[in-house]
Amino acid sequence: MIRKNWWLLQFNAKETRSQVKIFPDWLEQGIDVNADFINLTNQSENEPNQQANKAELTSNELLKSEHGNNQYDGQQAALTEDIFDKIPKLNFYCERCQVNNLNLGKVSFSLSRTDDNVIKIENFKAKREQAEFTFSGEWKKNKKQAQ
C-alpha cells in the first residue's frame, strides 16, 4: 500500500526528539514513530500532577464504594475494550529509549491487527551494547460474557 499523504508531528523536548507520521486512515494505514531518543519517567512526588492523580484515585474509590465493585469493574472493562478497539497499526523505531532507569537502547517493533479481536506485536527488538532482547506476541481481546 502506497502512503503518499500524512500529517507530520515533530517533538523536540527534554523527554524526546521524534517525528510521528499519522496517515489519513490511521486505524488502517497506521502511525510511524521515528525517534532519536525517548526518555519516559514517572513524575516525582513534588510535581503538580500529584494532586490530580490523588483526585483521580479518590474518584475511582468513590465509584467503587457508591456503585459497588461490579459496576466499577464493568466501567474499567468498557474502557479497556474502547482502548483495544482504537489501537492503530504502528511502526516504531527509537535510537535511544529509556523508561525510568531502564536503558533499553535501540528499540523497534510493529503493531498490527490480525482481526477485530487480536493485536499482534511483531519483531520487538531492544538492543544495547552486547545485550539484545527480541520477541513477538499477540494480545487477544476477551469475548464479552453475557450478564
Same domain, 36 and 59: no
pLDDT tens digit sequence for 106-122: 999 999 988 888 899 99
Question: Quick one: the chain helix, strand, coil %, rounded to 5?
Answer: 30, 45, 25
The DSSP 8-state label assigned to residue 86 in this structure reads T
Answer whether 0.75 is exceeded by the pTM.
no
Q: Is the pLDDT of residue 45 over 60?
A: no
User: Quick check: is 24 in a domain?
Assistant: yes
User: Quick check: is 85 in a domain?
Assistant: yes
- pLDDT at residue 116, rounded to an integer: 80
Cell triple for 132: 539484545
Cell triple for 106: 535501540
Query: What CA–CA distance (Å, rounded) separates 133 from 141?
Result: 25
Q: Where are the alpha helices (DSSP H) in the chain?
A: 26-29, 49-85
Tell me how far apart the 2 most distant CA atoms of the chain are, in Å.
Answer: 53
- pLDDT at residue 85, rounded to an integer: 79
User: Quick check: is 20 in a domain?
Assistant: yes
User: Quick check: is 141 in a domain?
Assistant: no
Same domain, 34 and 59: no
Determine the 3-state secondary structure of 95 from DSSP: strand
Domain span holding position 61 = 55-91
Query: What CA–CA distance (Å, rounded) separates 104 from 11?
Result: 20
